[in-house]
Structure formats: structure tokens, C-alpha cells
A and B are shown apart, each in its own frame.
Chain A
Amino acid sequence: MISFTLNDKPIKVDADPKMPLLWALRDLLDMTGTKYGCGIAQCGACTVHMDGTPIRSCVMPLSTIAGKNITTIEGLSSDASHPIQQAWLEHNVPQCGYCQSGQIMSAVALLESNPNPDDAAIDNAMQGNICRCGTYPRIKAAIKDAARNVSITNVDFSLAKNAGEKA
């Protein structure tokens, strides 16, 4: 039995400790917002946060997340109200939508660590997330907009803050 915190709730999973977090989320916990794309940390579709840091859940065995704080796309907001989700809506970013959970989780992590990223910083933070539909230009524009909006409105959209408010 492995215990960890998932989107602010304590959770216990009875599974092979070698099972990657991705499959525990998807198959055992019915949290299908986090996607499978490659299984070898190449595409970023499975990106979630572990203690605020983006990780590829497809290569993260359950044993390594015991006691950790995991946030998935479902933990961001259920009503798309998070500033990054709002920016995604504003720019009509998704095409097929499959990679977008991972893209959004990477973008949130980027803005938490760098509230005003330039193109190079965005490329660097996002290059682990593949999109075959080609939404890169809109993702980049959405991240810049989100950064701008956050700085204008002084909204602190860090997950830690939001989590605190929810609690």
C-alpha cells in the first residue's frame, strides 16, 4: 500500500510498487486527464507535478512517490478558471486536445518558476512536450499572455497558494 497526496487529498494505492504513477492514475484511480503518449519520458503527455515540480508520470514508479504531493490536470481547476487554462481558452490552443493536459502542467510549472519567460525560456521549458497537431505557436502565445495577465492583475496562481485557499 502506497500513500501519497493527490490533488490535496490523501490517497492509498494497493499496487505493484514498480507500476508507474501514470497507470495508477489512469487504471486504478480513474483519473484519465493525464495521458499516455510514449512511456519513456519523451513526449510529456503524462506530465504531473510532484511537490510542485513537473515530472513524467510514465516513468515514475509508485514506490518513489510515497509521501509526496501529486497534482494532476484535474487538480488545477475543474472549471477551467486557472489563469493558464483561461489563456488556453483565449487562444483556442487545442486541436485534438490529447497532449494538452501535459502541456498545461508544464506551462504552469514554468510560470511558477519564471513569471516572465522569454521565447528561449518557453522553448526550453516546453520542449519535452510534443504536440503532433502543431499547437506550438498558440501554446507559446498563451503562455506569454498568461504571464502578462498575471503580472497586470497581481494574481498569484501558484498551485501552493491555490491549494492553501482551497484547504
Chain B
Amino acid sequence: MIELFQQAANNASIKQTKSVSRRDFLKLTGMTTSGFVLGSMLSVSLPAWAHGNASHVGDNTLNLFVTIETNGRVNIVCHRSEMGQGIRTSIPQIVADELCVAWKDVHVVQGLANEAYGSQNTDGSRSIRNFYAKMREMGATARTILEQAAAEQWAVPIADVYADDSFVINKNTKQKISFAALAEPASKIKPPAPDSLIYKSKKDFKYIGKPIQIIDLPDMVTGNAIFGQDVKLEGMLYASIERNPVVGSKVESFDKAAAMKTGGVVDVYKMPEQPTPVVFNPANGVAVIATNTWAASQGRKALNIKWGDSPHKDHDSAEYLAKLNQRIVGKGKTIRQGGDAYAAMQQSQKKIAATYTVPYLVHAPMEPPAATAVFKDGKCEVWACTQTPQNTQQNVAAALGIAKENVTVNVTLLGGAFGRKSKADFSIEAALLTKYTGKPVKVIWSREDDIRQGYYHSISSQYFEAGLTADNAVNAWIQRTAFPSISWTFDGATDEPSDGELSLGFGDVPFNVENLSCETHKAPAHIRIGWVRSVCNIQHAFAQGSFVDELAHAAKVPTHKMWHQLLGNDRFVNPKDQGFEYANYGETLERFPIDTKRLKNVLDDVVTKSGADKPTANGEAWGISAHRSFVSYVAVATKVRVKDNKVTVLEMHSSIDAGTVVNPDRVRSQQEGSMIFGLSLAMMGEITVKEGAVEQSNYNDYQVLRMSQSPLITTYIVESDAIPGGVGEPGTPPVAPSLTNAIFHACGKRIRDLPVNKHFTV
């Protein structure tokens, strides 16, 4: 999700390219080993980042993203994982547009783990923003080669031909040749240099910017879509693993014989001890291996495992949060500073201060993690609902003690993920168990496993303090945050927020306040911490968006006006000017500045279109908030009714400026999903820990939003030709503060500690 963590997780350079073996190639294109098919493949181009790599020069059979078969089928590789964002449609949309292929001819092929694609880590809302330009290049390169092949056949200059709808057409004679007929001659043409390519202009786009229906839709409504949980191999065994309830505790003893007596159980295996730092290593535990999932889960109940001690056994989330709340009111470590906030605060006419907290959260995707693996002749093949196939490949190879070239990772559809499936732990488990049994093994995580063995969103405390002048200008601003760091998961040592995490809505505060101090406090980790959709933006946007509302109330101005006042003139904010090493989601500030104009614009857009500035009925009110994350800008307006201590969310509107959008329907569906995800965590999301162990277990005690709690939702997309920004995550951060602000305006109760259901029926 954040470059920093990827580097920690991926002990290999993602930039290094590797040639694809014939077997991998055939597999990734979904073809059989037919020489005829291979011979007719269109060699398109190497990715831009592969140029200069000697192993690729002249290798015209290697084609990473596009192949054309003689029957006219055009295979386009999607190298990113599909988890509901529609990427298996939008990546091919970009390639297909520049390629000038008819959409009906497009066949999408899911890419295997392969570093030649560049990063496949499907996280950080960056599939489109990182690959938009490269995918256009892939399509344009292929189209140019096809045009070249046709021009050679007709003996005319390439300028006299053009491609359209799976044909190349002679401008003068109107003769046409199909892509299918050109596939073979085109495969012998050397790819043009990327800087010689001619791209379409926006007005000529046929697919980019169009709401194309997702390619997996028919399978999804007929039950034919294959997810990680659905994989089945010949002779496969099913494994269910009982894992340690407290991080670090080891298996001391267990009753193998009792588990073996369960019908259908064929073996019981103690998993290798988990090293520290925990990283993505499977937790300590005992696997029950059976002929079906039910038998494995029943066998597990008989294990009677005695667990050893752990340094984390006394962790209690309620006590821990109370400690953070004590710590947060004192001065912390300064990470960004402008002027002298403490001196200015002393001179303020009015001082406003508040502490905001967000509990631990867990992803709880509808499909719990699952992975299937087969180990044979020193090679391993994995099928998994993974967001990170390359990292899975590396981790599986390391766990089995084989070269990663001997590990093939197939990416299934992901039944939701939200960051959980970035971790390779479940795939490593499957690999270890297939090696142990000598048979294909599917590891099935139960819902209880998913809730109790997660990589949790951090528990956090935020303190905000502002000083107002007599005319209600904000002249001093102090903000602090404390939460256990994701870095601990990777190094076992970090005990304070990292710069990468502070770059998520904290150190990048965009307000035009002369005297500013951003500070952090220590917060050691006691459970596995991971990234959950929009990561630390969740707590930082909640605190910031709530605090702006509190300041507006104190200054007796509309919240919308206070936002404008704080954001100030149209300008680019550079947190580095005030000493903060801002990560900007891996992008430069030149390409993706923090643009206050765009943030004000989405806020104005949502307020105007939703009617959030209009009067409401008694007991009803609007709340608003805005946030820049993943280099996109989102504002949300929420209308609630509070009656008899029950909160009903009536309407929710969201406006996004994500620059150029590829598939507006999927941007809207991500907006809808982001709002419901944000509303769910704000209303009822809470993981608690007692004696080191997570207390919740399933959807009965880790509640998530249901249809009856889901409001009327409206989405707006700001028309923009800017470079594409993120879409999957930025919709979530402004949701929680817009909700709690609305509740405050409806009934006067300010909620500073999520979730809302601690205070109201929801």
C-alpha cells in the first residue's frame, strides 16, 4: 500500500525484468502448447522498463500484454488482481482503445506472477495511475506494428493506413485487412521505439472514459466465477488450521489422535514455528488435513491445543487506548513545523481542543482467504486470491527452499480483499502443506480465522488543538497522532508511526495556518498490524474532518466556510517546506501536487449538488467532510436523522476528482463501495483485544453494514483531463467525519470515539 512497506515485504527489486519461460507464457496467455498458436502470436513490444535489458533484445516471441490469434481473438493481459474494482476490464480498455480492436474480439488473460510486468501489487489505489500510460503504450505499439504489416502488404507508406475495429484500412483504396490476417506477418516486425508512437487524442477514445460492462459480470451472476475458495485440483486435500490466539505464542501440545478419529481426517501437521518479525509468515498452529472442508473443520475442534506464553498476552485494547489518550495530550515528537504554534496558542482568544479515537478494525472481505498449492518435482504451483502474486511467489519459494522461478502463482478472482489479501501467509500455508502431504492442498480460512488472525487496522488516538483570534481566524494549530505502526509487522521493533503512515492524511495537512505543529507519540504493537482500505487516512481524516466542524461551530460559521477559510487561496502545499518527508503515495509533487483548489472544488460540488447547505426537517441534519488521499480529492455530504437515540443515515453524496477516469461506471461503483465501507466502520466497526487475543469471531460480533442500514447514495465525478489518480480508497476517509458531524448537527452530540454504535442505536 505504501512503497516503504512494499520494499520491506518484497526483498527483491521490482524493476528487474525476467524473461518468461515458454511454459509460463503459454499459461499466462491461456493457450495450449500448440506450435501453430505460438507461431501466430503477434509480438508487440517489451514494456518500456525492459528496454536495454540484453535478454529481451530481438526476442520477438515475447509479448507481455497483447497477442493476436489467427482466429481473430485478441488476448490482452491484465496483470493486476481483480477484487471488485473492475480492473480486469479497465486495464484492457486502455490497451484496446489504442490498439483499435473491436471490444468483442478482446479476451482478457489474467497474468501470472511475473516481474516483467512491473509491480503487480494491487494496492494503494494505483493500478490505473501507475499503468495508464504504459497500457496506452502497449496498445499503440501493437497497433503500429499491425499498421506496418498492412502497409508492407500493400506496399504503401504507413501514413496511408489506419487501424479501426480490428482491421487495418487503406485510406486511399479503402481496402481492409483483419488483425487476424495480419497477426503472423506482424509478429516478425520489430517493435517501434516508444517515443515514435502516435497516440489517440481524447476525442477519438472509444473505450477510455466509457462505462464498459465488466467482463466477469456474466460469470458472477451465474455462479461460474472462480474465486480462491473455489479452486479444485484432482486428488486435492482440504486443510483447516487452528492458529495461535495471541501473537508469538507457540504450540506446546495437542491431541493428534483425537483429531485423527474424526471421519474424513487424513493427517494432522504442526505448522513450522513462526519466526519474528512476523511479516507474512504463517502463524503458529496445527493443520488438520481432510478429504473435505467440513471434516477438516470438525477435526480441528478435537485438537485441544495448549498454547505457550507470549510477550503480548497482556494486551488489552481498552487499557491501551486509555494510555494513548493520556499520552496524546502532551507534547510529542515534531514531524512538521511552521512558525511557533505553542507561542501563538498562548495569544489566542479562543482555544479549541479535542481527542479522537478509532478502534482496531479488520477487513472481513466476503471471501475469507484461501489458497491451493501443488508441489511436484521441486516445483510449486499456487492458485490464490492474492493482491500480490510476486510477493507470494517469493515467499512460497523461500518457505519451500526453492528458486522463485520454480514457483508459479495463478491469481483467481478475489472475493473482496481491502488489503487483507496483500499478505502471503495463506499461500505459504498451502505450499508447506502440499510439500508435507505430497498432494494438492487447499487451505480454507474460516470466517473466525479471518476475524481473529487478521492484519489489523491500528487502534489510534489523535489530539487536535487550535487557537482562534478575536475575528475567528485560526492562528495556531497543533495535531498529534499515536498508533502502532505497520512497520512493526515487518521489523518487530518500530514503536511509533512511520513517515509513510504519517503521509496518509496527517503530515500533509493542507491548511493555511501560519503556526503549525504536527507531532507523534510512541505506540508499541501487540497484534499484527496491516493496511485496510485507505489505511491511516481513516483515523487522520476522521480527526481532521471532525475538528474542522468543531472549529466551524466555535466560530459560528458553516462548516463549508471553515474549510474554505482553512484551505485559503488556491495553492500547492509542500509539506517538505516544513520539514516533513512526505511520501505522496509514491508520486512526485510536481506530477501530483497537493492542490487546494481541487479540494475546495469537490467540496463545493458535493455541497451544491446534495443540497447540504439547505435547511432540514427537525432532528435531521447534514454533515460534510473532504480529504485528499491517493492523489485524488473526495468530499462527502451525509444526511442523518437522529430520533429516540437511533441514528438513521438518509442520504450520502460523494464527489471525486480522480483526474482522467477510464471506466466511469466502475469509478461510481467504487465510490458507492467506499461510502458503504466507510459508513460500516464508522457506525459499527470495532475489534477489541483482551489478554492478547481478538474477542470478535464472525459477522455476529464484528458487525458490518447491511442493506437496511445503507442510505440513498449519489455520486459525482469531476470532469478532468488531469493524470489519473487513485479511486479504490480515497472515497472512504471523508465518510466517518461527515457522519459524526451530521449527528452533531442533528442532535448536539459530538462523537469523538468511533464507532457510533457505542453511543446510538444504528
A89 in complex: contacting residue of B221, B264, B712, CB < 8 Å: B221
Q: Which of chain B's residues have a CB closer than 8 A to the CB of A132?
A: 364-366, 416, 418, 677, 680, 704
Closest to B533 in A: A132
CB-contacts of B392-436 with A (<8 A): 413-418
Binds A, one of B30-38, B225-233, B519-527: B225-233
Residue of B nearest to A16 (CB): B263
Give A23-39 as 1s and 0s: 1 = Cβ < 8 Å from B's Cβ atoms. 10011101111111111
Q: Identify A80's interface contact among B221, B263, B368, CB under 8 A.
A: B221
B194 contacts A by Cβ under 8 Å: no
> Which of chain B's residues have a CB closer than 8 A to the CB of A78?
222
B84 within 8 A of A: yes
CB pair A27–B415 under 8 Å, yes or no, is no
Cβ-defined contact, A72 with B263, below 8 A: no
Interface string of B182-225 (1 = CB under 8 A from A): 00000000000000000000000000000101101111111111
Q: Does B60 belong to the interface (CB within 8 Å)?
A: no
Cross-interface CB contact of A134 among B365, B672, B698, cutoff 8 Å = B672
- When C-beta atoms are compared, the residue in chain A nearest to B82 turns out to be A96
Identify which of B86, B230, B264, B706 contacts A130 (C-beta below 8 A): B706
Whether A133 and B416, one on each chain, are in contact in the complex, defined by CB atoms closer than 8 angstroms, is: yes
B95 within 8 A of A: no
Interface residue count for A (Cβ, 8 Å)?
A: 61
Q: In this assembly, does B295 line the interface, its C-beta being within 8 Å of a C-beta of chain A?
A: yes
B222 touches A134 (CB 8 A): no
- A43 within 8 Å of B (CB atoms): yes
Which A residues from 74 to 131 make CB contacts under 8 A with B?
A: 74, 76-80, 85, 88-89, 92-101, 104, 122-124, 126-127, 129-131
Q: Does B565 contact A (CB under 8 A)?
A: no
**Residue of A92, A97, A137 touching B712 (CB-CB under 8 A):** A137
A38 and B416 form a contact (CB under 8 A): no
* CB within 8 Å of B: which A15-64 residues: 15-16, 19-20, 23, 26-28, 30-40, 42-43, 45
Which B624-645 residues have C-beta < 8 A from chain A? Answer: none
Bound: A11/B712 CA distance, A:
44
Q: Which of B213, B238, B444, B677 contacts A92 (CB 8 A)?
A: B213
Bound together, the chains give a CA A101 to CA B413 distance in angstroms of 15
Residue numbers in A under 8 Å from B227 (CB-CB): 35, 97-98
Cβ of A42: which chain B residues have Cβ within 8 Å of it?
Answer: 698-700
B85 to chain A: closest residue by CB: A95
With A27-B293, A97-B84, A133-B673 already in contact, the answer to whether A38 and B232 are too (CB < 8 A) is: no
Question: In the assembled complex, how far is the CB of residue B366 from the closest CB belonging to chain A, in whole angstroms?
Answer: 4
Does A68 belong to the interface (CB within 8 Å)?
A: no
- Residue of chain A at shortest CB distance from B226: A32
Q: Is A139 an interface residue (CB 8 A)?
A: yes
Q: Which residues of A sit under 8 angstroms from B680, Cβ to Cβ?
A: 132
User: Do A39 and B447 touch across chains, with their CB atoms under 8 A apart?
Assistant: yes
Residues on A with beta carbons closer than 8 Å to the beta carbon of B417: 96
Distance A91 CA – B312 CA, assembled complex (angstroms): 48
Is residue B713 contacting chain A, with contact meaning CB distance below 8 A? yes
* A136: Cβ under 8 A from any B Cβ: yes
> A96-B365, A137-B672 given as contacts; is B292 within 8 A of A39 (CB)?
no
Chain A residues positioned under 8 Å from B705 (CB to CB): 134, 136
Does A159 sit at the interface, judged by CB under 8 A? no
Q: Which chain A residue shows the least CB distance to B448?
A: A39
The reply to whether B218 and A99 form a contact with Cβ atoms under 8 Å apart is no
Inter-subunit contact B221/A94 (CB<8 Å): yes
Find A137's partner among B82, B86, B699, B710 (CB 8 Å cutoff).
Answer: B710
Give Cα distance in the complex from A78 to B707, angstroms.
Answer: 27
Residue A73 is within 8 A (CB to CB) of chain B in the complex: yes
Report yes or no: A89 in contact with B217, Cβ–Cβ below 8 A: yes
What is the bound-complex CA distance between A144 and B281, given in angstroms?
47
Given known pairs A33-B224, A97-B220, A100-B220, the reply for A38 and B707 (CB within 8 Å) is: no
Could you say which residues of chain A place their CB within 8 Å of the CB of B710?
A: 134, 136-137
Residues from chain B with a CB closer than 8 A to the CB of A97 are 84, 216, 219-220, 225, 227, 413, 415
- Which of A38, A98, A104, A140 makes the CB contact (< 8 A) with B698? A38
Asked if A95 contacts B366 (CB within 8 A), the reply is no
Inter-chain contacts of A43 with B (CB < 8 A): 366, 447, 699
Q: Taking the complex as formed, is B676 at the interface, i.e. its CB lies under 8 A from any CB of chain A? A: yes
Which residues of B sit under 8 angstroms from A40, Cβ to Cβ?
447, 698-700
Measured between alpha carbons, how far is A139 from B673 in the docked complex, in Å? Answer: 13
Q: Is the CB of A27 within 8 A of B707?
A: no
CA distance A104 to B227 in the complex (A): 18
Count residues on chain B whose CB falls below 8 Å from chain A CBs.
66
- Selected from A37, A77, A136, the residue in CB contact (under 8 A) with B707 is A136
B751 sits at the interface (CB 8 A):
no
The answer to whether B669 touches A85, judged by C-beta atoms less than 8 angstroms apart, is no
Give the CA-CA distance A137 to B232 in the complex, in Å: 33
Q: Is the CB of B704 within 8 A of A126?
A: no
Interface assignment of B83: CB less than 8 Å from any CB of chain A: yes
- Known contacts A27-B238, A97-B415, A98-B416; is-contact A85 B221 (Cβ 8 Å): yes
Name the contact of B366 in the complex, choosing from A26, A99, A122 (C-beta under 8 A).
A99
Per-position 1/0 for B354-395, Cβ under 8 A of A = 000000000011111000000000000000000000000000
Which residues on the A side are within 8 Å of B125 (C-beta)? Answer: none
Chain A nearest CB from B426 CB (Å) reads 15
Residue of B nearest to A19 (CB): B294
Q: Report how far A15 CA is from B290 CA in the complex, Å.
A: 13
What residue of chain B has the Cβ atom nearest to residue A128's Cβ?
Answer: B706
A156 to chain B minimum Cβ distance, whole angstroms, is 20
With a CB–CB cut-off of 8 A, which chain A residues contact B413?
96-98
- Residues 131-167 of A, flagged 1 when their CB comes within 8 A of B and 0 if not, give 1111111111000000000000000000000000000
Most buried by B among A23, A76, A88: A23
Residue from B82, B448, B676 with most neighbouring chain A CB atoms (10 Å): B676
- Given known contacts A130-B366, A138-B672, A139-B707, is B293 in contact with A26 (CB within 8 Å)? yes
- Contact of B675 (CB < 8 Å), options: A23, A30, A134: A134
From residue B77, how far is it (CB to closest CB) to chain A in Å?
A: 20
Counting chain A CB atoms within 10 Å of each CB, which of B232, B295, B448, B710 scores highest? B710
Decide if B494 is an interface residue (CB 8 Å cutoff): no
A89 to B415, CA, bound (A): 18
Expressed in whole angstroms, the Cα–Cα distance for A98 and B417 within the complex equals 11
* B655 CB → nearest A CB, Å: 17
Question: Taking the complex as formed, is B674 at the interface, i.e. its CB lies under 8 A from any CB of chain A?
Answer: yes
Q: Please report the C-alpha to C-alpha distance between residue A163 and residue B447 in the assembled complex, in whole angstroms.
A: 34
Contact residues, B66-119 vs A (CB, 8 A): 82-86
Q: Quick check: B213 and A89 within 8 Å, CB to CB?
A: yes
A93 to chain B, nearest CB (A): 8
Is B19 in contact with chain A by the CB < 8 A criterion? no
Closest to A95 in B: B84
B669 CB contact (under 8 Å) in A73, A77, A104, A138: A138
The chain A residue with its CB closest to the CB of B229 is A36
- Shortest beta-carbon distance, A36 to chain B, in Å? 6
Chain A residue numbers with a CB within 8 Å of B698 are 38-40, 42
Asked if B221 and A104 make an inter-chain contact with CB atoms under 8 angstroms apart, the answer reads yes
B11: interface (CB < 8 Å) = no
Instruction: Determine whether B695 belongs to the interface, using a CB cutoff of 8 Å to chain A.
Output: no
Q: Give the residue of B294, B367, B674 whose beta carbon is less than 8 angstroms from that of A27.
A: B294
- 7 tightest Cβ-Cβ pairs between the two chains A and B: A33-B223, A98-B415, A134-B676, A96-B84, A97-B220, A95-B84, A73-B223
Task: Report which A residues bind B (CB closer than 8 A).
Answer: 15-16, 19-20, 23, 26-28, 30-40, 42-43, 45, 72-74, 76-80, 85, 88-89, 92-101, 104, 122-124, 126-127, 129-140
List, sorted by A's number, 8 A–B pairs whose CB atoms are closer than 8 Å.
A16-B294, A19-B295, A35-B227, A40-B699, A94-B216, A94-B220, A96-B414, A138-B672
Contacts A37-B699, A96-B82 known; 10 new A-B pairs at CB < 8 A: A27-B238, A32-B226, A35-B415, A36-B293, A96-B367, A96-B415, A98-B367, A130-B366, A133-B366, A140-B707
Residues of chain B having any CB pair with chain A under 8 Å: 82-86, 211, 213-214, 216-227, 229-230, 232, 238, 263-264, 292-295, 364-368, 413-418, 444, 446-448, 665, 669-670, 672-677, 680, 698-700, 704-708, 710, 712-713
